[in-house]
A and B are shown apart, each in its own frame.
Chain A
Amino acid sequence: MQFLKNIQSVAKYESTLLLRSWFFRVFAVLALLILGAFNFAATQEWSIIAVPGNLPYTILLFLNVGQAVIAIFLSSEFLKRDKKLDTSEVFYVRPLSNAEYVLGKIWGNLRVFFVLNLMIMALTLIANYIASTKGMTIDWEAYLYYFLLISIPTMVFILGLAIFLMLTISNQALTFILLLGYIGVTVFYIKDTFYYLFDYMAFSLPMFKSTIVGIADVDTIINHRLIYLFFGLGFTFFTIALFRRLPNAKHSHYPWIAVGIVFFILGGWKAFAHVNKNLKNDDYRTYCVELNNKYVHTPKIVIDTCILDVKQLEQGIEVSALVEGKALEKSSKYTFCLNPGMEVKSVTIEGKDTPFTREEQILIIDFGKEYEQNEPITLQINYQGSIDERFCYLDIPKEDRMEQITNQYGLQTYNAGQKYVFQQKNFLLYTPETFWYPRPGVAYSNQSPDWQQTYFSNFRLNVMPLDSLVAISQGEQQKKDNGIYSFEPEYPLQSLSLLIGKYEKKSMNIDSIDYNVWYIQGHDYFSVHFDSVMDTIAYIVRDNKENIERFYSLDYPFKRFSLVEIPGQFHTFNRAWTQAQEVMQPEMVLLPEKGFNSWAFNIAQQIKNRKEWGGWGRNGRTQVSDLDAQMSVLYDLIWFFRRTESNFDFSRGKLGKASVETSANPYLIYPELYNFKYNIFSTQWPVANRLIEIYLRNESEENSWMREVNGLSNSEKASLLLKDDSFKDLLANEEHRNIAEAIIGVKASELFAHAEMKLGTSVFRDSLFSILKNHEFENINFEALIDTLGRLGDTDLHSIIAGWTSSANLPEYIIGTPTVTQITSKDEEIYQLELTISNISDYPGLIRLEILNLNTSSQQDVPEDEQAKRIIPFNPHETKRIVTNYDEAPRNININTILSRNLPSVVSQYVTDIPKITKNYVESSNISVIANDALSVPGEIIVDNEDEHLFELSEPDITGLIPLWINQSTEGDFKYQGIDWRPPIRWTATTNESYYGTSIRSAYVIKNGGGQTATWKVPVPEKGDYEVYYYVTLPEEIRWGGGHMGPGRGGRGGNQMEYKFQIKYNDEAEDAVIDLRRAQAGWEKLGTYHFDSDTIKIVLSNDTNVRKVTADAVKLIKQ
């Protein structure tokens, strides 16, 4: 008792001291002010309103970082005080023990911090309470959990460590550096490596608390936090042993060393358990893949009908599966795959127990007799268990599975983590990825695409959930008297998913399709906000459905469409072979709780915003009606399922270079129209289905601003990669996973361009659609489909596919400037486009020519398709002149080189200048082969930045390690870089259609200032007078405002924008300038000169007030 009393006494006065320290007071006041204000900012965010646990989670994370740093500074006081102040000796001579003293001091500090935590949590509670007007609830548990999981272990650990170090090192400055360094390294460098092992502040550890299932993987988290709690206590006990005061009894410090060691062992054991568990998970996954590889070619059956009787257990399910199918090949043993967590109790055929073997997921059933190919097979498999989550996403590498899932917009602090399955008493979610029911064959194999064969089967499902829960799956839900939910999907499906929870639904039947919203009890925050729009919903849904179907030329096949709410931790991955992620299931989309990760679901706020801001128009402010506001919000919500990209990810990487990435929107509705209806399979090309899918989706190139920032578009990167590696190898290479879609896209575009050429793009696509339509819910053999398409297009597509195993020979073009002329002849008025393109490579190729703005009726002799889209083939070293006549001005011309060395690979030309002429004879549309020199003008000498021998750049004069770093940083990059709003400090190659170039339209760009130069050495064939031109790309400053203003005019009067040149010839140098305010984009004249020497030099300096200097090309024309 005296022990505790003494600790309490020391703690009381230690707390007093801490509370009287200005350092702490300032911190506490700042923390209260900042986090207090932050609370109110945070409660504006939907991700926090929707999942209230995120509020204490976020706030405590922030506080924790602050207090972890402050604690270090305070711990130094701890010893400093004892060292310098003699008066503390009067306490040392008291009969209390060292343990009581040290523990009292640490506890005294800790409890002050804990009180601060409680005060901040009280503020948080107030903010939380106030936000209840926005529909936010209070998650009391979360406050307790996060306090216990975040604050306590962190503080015990950091105080223990800090005091221990302070005592052993006895140097305040050194200890600070060590500890702050430690914090810095863990927060900024180590981060989540070793499975968050070093994340002592729990800053990255996923601890999201769902409103449906609570914190996932509590065991792992507790284990992780105990590591630090134990180490913290260990350090504390060592401190007792090392404390510099004579202990009350001789040798009394030995027990504390022992206790310290015990806690270190405990902490070490927890750390080992943590890492080992994860390492073992990885080993286990590797083992599962090996098993799949081993059995991937074993015989299997195709399942026609699968009837599943499922009983939900406290953890997991008990299932009796009746499987009817046909043997795919002759055998007596067939292979199935079932999640390794599911224990097979028995397999019976015609009521008789049948032997089977099980190796993790592999289930091989020995039928005891040989089946012929296509012979029907019926069997029953009884199994029970829970899903082993490690088995999910065997193909996804660790980095991706470890990726932190933070909210893209807003605070970005908490980590939602990644869960692929839920199975607890009150909630269950099994997607096909879990292999929760037996499927023929094996799961992911990295050796053979054979594993991927999916077939359409007829499913029937009966589910007996635990008390009062509701089961959801594909097919119409029918609840029987005995509490069993049964489902009988109207269509064959490739896979089946199962959800069980406290679900309720809102439902509406529109055009004989049931539209359902399944939400967890108490989560209907939305319907009240759509009161005015109820009568119009049917119209909006119909309008959108038609729109989507028209856009993709595909029909929605199912009888119902459900949005189903699931826990926020659920995570899915993008895969090369399919657009459909696991949140997309046939006839349903799984949405994270309340749509917390998208602002679009903050319906109340969205409607409010519409009403507040929407009324501002040209005629001042008008009232936005409830109906208009609600409709607008509803359209936004629907857009959530229509947009192809979910996020723009900006980052600054090497050398501070910006890049922007997009990730596929997992909620894009497209798979419902395509992937769940069609299945194109190939034994050789696992991406066959994806190939067709991407081709049919026919997405336009990514945004041009993204290309500008990133340097190359994904398609261009794909082309450059395909130049060196085969399609097959690239698909297998995980490094290129993020641009797999682009790689498949360019290959699809190239493949079918051959077929389009003959039929015309639209006709060909229509043919493909109609073939698909005839095979809905059936498996389509890719090779057979290619056969058919080849025949239709009168081309041998197989030979092209055969080339996919080797790297591609890419053609290279010079694309002339298209001209459009308005010609009036005697009886008509037409617009004539004239364009010359030259293939300068040794390989044949195709060009896709598109007029984007055309929506006209056709010329009588040209098919409609050719007006807008056409494929033009080029032989090696062939130049073609293309003449096409249009009724309307073809202003927006897109020349797509499909798969070529050209950069940019797509040239978009907007035609503004259309001269009018009158002619008696109008040349009809035609394509003619002309001489290869058609694009060069005699007498012109052009030197481009691509001319290695004639073009030179200065290197910035940087000494020290920087050049080494720059060289290392740029290693392995593509040659052409992106240019963002911060121009580079050294000459950087970049491509853009507005630059001069033959097949590669490139230039070097640099920030102004610093005396850097670019030099063109131009060979002069003979003495004489020459006009010298420079190829100008107008900088943004001029393009956006500020343009064509003479000096002295406008806001930045007198601010000249000039490129400064030196023309070096005949042993002298002459200055020349181009005034960019007056210049036009393209060739701009520098002057006329008389050249005697055989080589002249043109030098461009970056000493100018134009922010970005571009070195492109120069041209000489002999007079």
Chain B
Amino acid sequence: MSITIKNLNKVYPNGHHALKDINLVIPPGMFGLLGPNGAGKSTLMRILVALMEPSSGEIDVYGYDLLKQRKEVRRILGYLPQDFRFFAKYKVYEFLDYAARLSGMNNTRQRKEAVDKMLEEVGLFDVRERYASKLSGGMKRRLGIAQALIHNPKVIIVDEPTTGLDPEERIRFRNLLSEVSGHEVTIILSTHIVGDISSTCKDMALLNRGQISFVGSPEEMLKMAEGKVWRLRVNNDQYRDINDKYPVISTIPMGLDWEIQVVADQIEGYEAEPFPPNLEHAYVYYMEHHLDLWTND
């Protein structure tokens, strides 16, 4: 039971080649799709939830051909779009009820129980009578995941779910997803925030400029960055010089000087001590060294 993407391309009518020959196998469990803004994550997500048609390629979702068997795929799909803020004038429980109905939960009593349970789970039961548009950002996001989960989907696709959330909400949200991922489902989490992935995903892919540049586990990615992160203390002039040459990922003022962290194979001309990398470092290193993203021209 997995999602297999073969030779997927998407070219927009304006000629923008958003996805280039994507090949990807997504196993069950939590899968992170990492990439900077504009990398094509949302395009890939929208294709996966059948909101958009690819220009070419094949997608198999749990044995169904997404291009031909949309109805079957839609049946096992839960989706939380990137921008989940503007609501028609529905109350919280109505929103869930509507979603549940449309997913084929016809039995009124069962549906009501499911809705209530889901509201409890995401902690929205107390505001169930409130209009969805009146919820706070975090609550909205929780409502979003609730509607994506209400019908017990096999595949859950969440697009940039933590953007704009405060740290507390973000953690809460991640935990919620982790809980669900224990239920034999595939969760595809698209994000540009490395922390989302490091804390939850066991598999991940890196998408940049419409191409997959890494597939593997977060640990594998971390490994690649070992010995490539340096910590050094510099003055203002030095800082400017280093910043021109290497990606600086952390800057802490120390009196008149700065303590900075830099990602690089080697630092020449400065006294630098190696620093243990985290996933974010790995991400930056990867972007810098494999894709020449941050060329300072």
User: With contacts A6-B102, A249-B68 known, is A90 near B80, CB below 8 A?
Assistant: yes
Residue-wise interface mask of B (85-126) relative to A, using a CB-CB cutoff of 8 A (1 in contact, 0 not) = 111111000100011011110100000000000000000000
Interface status of B144 (Cβ within 8 A of chain A): yes
Interface status of A13 (Cβ within 8 A of chain B): yes
Assess whether A93 is in contact with B90, with CB atoms less than 8 Å apart: no
- In chain A, what residue has the closest Cβ to B157? A93
How extensive is the interface on chain B, given as a class? 35 or more
Assess whether A250 is in contact with B147, with CB atoms less than 8 Å apart: no
User: What is the bound-complex CA distance between A94 and B102, given in angstroms?
Assistant: 6
Q: Contact check: which of A17, A81, A95, A246 meets B104 at CB < 8 Å?
A: A95
Assess whether B67 is in contact with A85, with CB atoms less than 8 Å apart: no
14 contacts between A and B (CB under 8 A): A2-B104, A6-B102, A17-B89, A86-B84, A87-B88, A90-B84, A90-B99, A95-B71, A95-B75, A97-B71, A245-B51, A246-B52, A248-B71, A249-B70
User: What is the bound-complex CA distance between A911 and B41, given in angstroms?
Assistant: 102
Interface status of A91 (Cβ within 8 A of chain B): yes
Interface residues of A in 224-258 (CB under 8 A from B): 245-250
User: With contacts A10-B102, A13-B98, A247-B70 known, is A93 near B88, CB below 8 A?
Assistant: no
Assess whether A94 is in contact with B83, with CB atoms less than 8 Å apart: no
Assess whether B68 is in contact with A89, with CB atoms less than 8 Å apart: no
User: With contacts A89-B81, A93-B74, A94-B103 known, is A246 near B51, CB below 8 A?
Assistant: yes
A→B interface (CB under 8 Å): 2, 5-6, 9-10, 12-13, 16-17, 20-21, 81, 84-97, 245-250
Report the minimal beta-carbon distance from B114 to chain A, rounded to whole angstroms. Answer: 15
Interface residues of B in 40-66 (CB under 8 A from A): 49-53
Report the minimal beta-carbon distance from A432 to chain B, rounded to whole angstroms. Answer: 66
- In chain A, what residue has the closest Cβ to B53? A246
Which residues of chain B come closer than 8 Å to A13, judged between CB atoms?
A: 90, 94, 98
User: What is the bound-complex CA distance between A16 and B85, given in angstroms?
Assistant: 20
Interface status of B260 (Cβ within 8 A of chain A): no
Which residues of chain A come closer than 8 Å to B89, judged between CB atoms?
A: 16-17, 20-21
- In chain A, what residue has the closest Cβ to B74? A95
Closest 4 CB pairs of A and B: A94-B102, A248-B71, A9-B101, A95-B74
User: What is the bound-complex CA distance between A10 and B88, given in angstroms?
Assistant: 13
User: What is the bound-complex CA distance between A16 and B94, given in angstroms?
Assistant: 10
Assess whether B67 is in contact with A250, with CB atoms less than 8 Å apart: yes
Given A16-B94, A85-B88, 16 new contacts (CB under 8 A): A13-B94, A16-B89, A17-B90, A86-B82, A86-B84, A86-B85, A87-B84, A89-B79, A90-B99, A93-B51, A246-B53, A248-B70, A248-B71, A249-B70, A249-B71, A250-B68
B→A interface (CB under 8 Å): 49-53, 67-72, 74-75, 77, 79-90, 94, 98-99, 101-104, 106, 132, 144, 147-148
Assess whether A86 is in contact with B98, with CB atoms less than 8 Å apart: no
User: With contacts A5-B106, A81-B88 known, is A91 near B52, CB below 8 A?
Assistant: no
Which residues of chain B come closer than 8 Å to A5, judged between CB atoms?
A: 101, 106
Q: Contact check: which of B81, B85, B106 meets A90 at CB < 8 Å?
A: B81
User: With contacts A20-B89, A86-B85 known, is A94 near B94, CB below 8 A?
Assistant: no
- In chain B, what residue has the closest Cβ to A89? B81
Which residues of chain A come closer than 8 Å to B132, judged between CB atoms?
A: 87
Report the minimal beta-carbon distance from B118 to chain A, rounded to whole angstroms. Answer: 14
Assess whether A246 is in contact with B70, with CB atoms less than 8 Å apart: yes
Which residues of chain B come closer than 8 Å to A12, judged between CB atoms?
A: 101
Report the minimal beta-carbon distance from A696 to chain B, rounded to whole angstroms. Answer: 76
Assess whether A16 is in contact with B90, with CB atoms less than 8 Å apart: yes
User: With contacts A93-B79, A246-B50, A246-B52 known, is A85 near B86, CB below 8 A?
Assistant: yes
Which residues of chain A come closer than 8 Å to B81, judged between CB atoms?
A: 86-87, 89-90
User: What is the bound-complex CA distance between A12 and B100, given in angstroms?
Assistant: 13
- In chain B, what residue has the closest Cβ to A81? B88
Assess whether B79 is in contact with A90, with CB atoms less than 8 Å apart: yes
User: What is the bound-complex CA distance between A91 and B132, given in angstroms?
Assistant: 15
- In chain A, what residue has the closest Cβ to B87? A87
Report the minimal beta-carbon distance from B59 to chain A, rounded to whole angstroms. Answer: 13
Q: Contact check: which of A91, A95, A246 meets B98 at CB < 8 Å?
A: A91
Which residues of chain A come closer than 8 Å to B74, judged between CB atoms?
A: 93-95, 248
User: What is the bound-complex CA distance between A619 and B98, given in angstroms?
Assistant: 76
User: What is the bound-complex CA distance between A795 and B90, given in angstroms?
Assistant: 95
Which residues of chain A come closer than 8 Å to B71, judged between CB atoms?
A: 95, 97, 248-249
User: With contacts A95-B75, A248-B70, A248-B74 known, is A9 near B102, CB below 8 A?
Assistant: yes
Assess whether B147 is in contact with A90, with CB atoms less than 8 Å apart: yes
Q: Contact check: which of B51, B69, B98 meets A9 at CB < 8 Å?
A: B98
Report the minimal beta-carbon distance from A355 to chain B, rounded to whole angstroms. Answer: 75
Report the minimal beta-carbon distance from B190 to chain A, rounded to whole angstroms. Answer: 15
Which residues of chain A come closer than 8 Å to B86, judged between CB atoms?
A: 84-87
User: What is the bound-complex CA distance between A285 and B83, given in angstroms?
Assistant: 68
Which residues of chain A come closer than 8 Å to B77, judged between CB atoms?
A: 93
Report the minimal beta-carbon distance from A60 to chain B, rounded to whole angstroms. Answer: 29
User: What is the bound-complex CA distance between A20 and B90, given in angstroms?
Assistant: 9
User: What is the bound-complex CA distance between A13 and B75, given in angstroms?
Assistant: 20
Assess whether A96 is in contact with B102, with CB atoms less than 8 Å apart: yes
The CB with the most chain B CB atoms within 10 A, among A5, A81, A84, A91, is that of: A91
- In chain B, what residue has the closest Cβ to A13? B98
Report the minimal beta-carbon distance from B215 to chain A, rounded to whole angstroms. Answer: 25
User: What is the bound-complex CA distance between A87 and B99, given in angstroms?
Assistant: 11
User: What is the bound-complex CA distance between A869 and B144, given in angstroms?
Assistant: 99
User: What is the bound-complex CA distance between A85 and B132, given in angstroms?
Assistant: 13
Which residues of chain A come closer than 8 Å to B49, judged between CB atoms?
A: 93
User: What is the bound-complex CA distance between A96 and B98, given in angstroms?
Assistant: 12
Which residues of chain A come closer than 8 Å to B90, judged between CB atoms?
A: 13, 16-17
Report the minimal beta-carbon distance from A1047 to chain B, rounded to whole angstroms. Answer: 68
Which residues of chain B come closer than 8 Å to A17, judged between CB atoms?
A: 88-90
Which residues of chain A come closer than 8 Å to B75, judged between CB atoms?
A: 95
Which residues of chain B come closer than 8 Å to A90, judged between CB atoms?
A: 79-81, 84, 99, 144, 147-148
User: What is the bound-complex CA distance between A97 and B74, given in angstroms?
Assistant: 10
Report the minimal beta-carbon distance from A75 to chain B, rounded to whole angstroms. Answer: 15
Report the minimal beta-carbon distance from A92 to chain B, rounded to whole angstroms. Answer: 6
User: What is the bound-complex CA distance between A9 and B80, given in angstroms?
Assistant: 21
Report the minimal beta-carbon distance from B154 to chain A, rounded to whole angstroms. Answer: 13
Which residues of chain B come closer than 8 Å to A88, judged between CB atoms?
A: 88
User: What is the bound-complex CA distance between A95 and B155, given in angstroms?
Assistant: 14
Which residues of chain B come closer than 8 Å to A16, judged between CB atoms?
A: 89-90, 94
User: What is the bound-complex CA distance between A21 and B68, given in angstroms?
Assistant: 38
Report the minimal beta-carbon distance from B57 to chain A, rounded to whole angstroms. Answer: 15
Report the minimal beta-carbon distance from B262 to chain A, rounded to whole angstroms. Answer: 39
User: What is the bound-complex CA distance between A92 and B71, given in angstroms?
Assistant: 11
The CB with the most chain A CB atoms within 10 A, among B69, B75, B98, B147, is that of: B98
- In chain A, what residue has the closest Cβ to B76? A95
User: What is the bound-complex CA distance between A16 and B69, given in angstroms?
Assistant: 32
- In chain A, what residue has the closest Cβ to B70? A248
Which residues of chain B come closer than 8 Å to A2, judged between CB atoms?
A: 104, 106
Report the minimal beta-carbon distance from B44 to chain A, rounded to whole angstroms. Answer: 15
Report the minimal beta-carbon distance from A415 to chain B, rounded to whole angstroms. Answer: 41
Which residues of chain A come closer than 8 Å to B102, judged between CB atoms?
A: 6, 9-10, 91, 94-96
The CB with the most chain B CB atoms within 10 A, among A17, A90, A249, is that of: A90
User: What is the bound-complex CA distance between A90 and B150, given in angstroms?
Assistant: 12
Report the minimal beta-carbon distance from B142 to chain A, rounded to whole angstroms. Answer: 14
Report the minimal beta-carbon distance from B188 to chain A, rounded to whole angstroms. Answer: 13
User: What is the bound-complex CA distance between A5 and B100, given in angstroms?
Assistant: 12
Report the minimal beta-carbon distance from A253 to chain B, rounded to whole angstroms. Answer: 13
Which residues of chain A come closer than 8 Å to B83, judged between CB atoms?
A: 86
User: What is the bound-complex CA distance between A17 and B80, given in angstroms?
Assistant: 22
Report the minimal beta-carbon distance from B45 to chain A, rounded to whole angstroms. Answer: 11
- In chain B, what residue has the closest Cβ to A9? B101
User: What is the bound-complex CA distance between A491 and B292, given in angstroms?
Assistant: 117
User: What is the bound-complex CA distance between A210 and B190, given in angstroms?
Assistant: 70
User: What is the bound-complex CA distance between A215 and B49, given in angstroms?
Assistant: 55
- In chain A, what residue has the closest Cβ to B148? A90
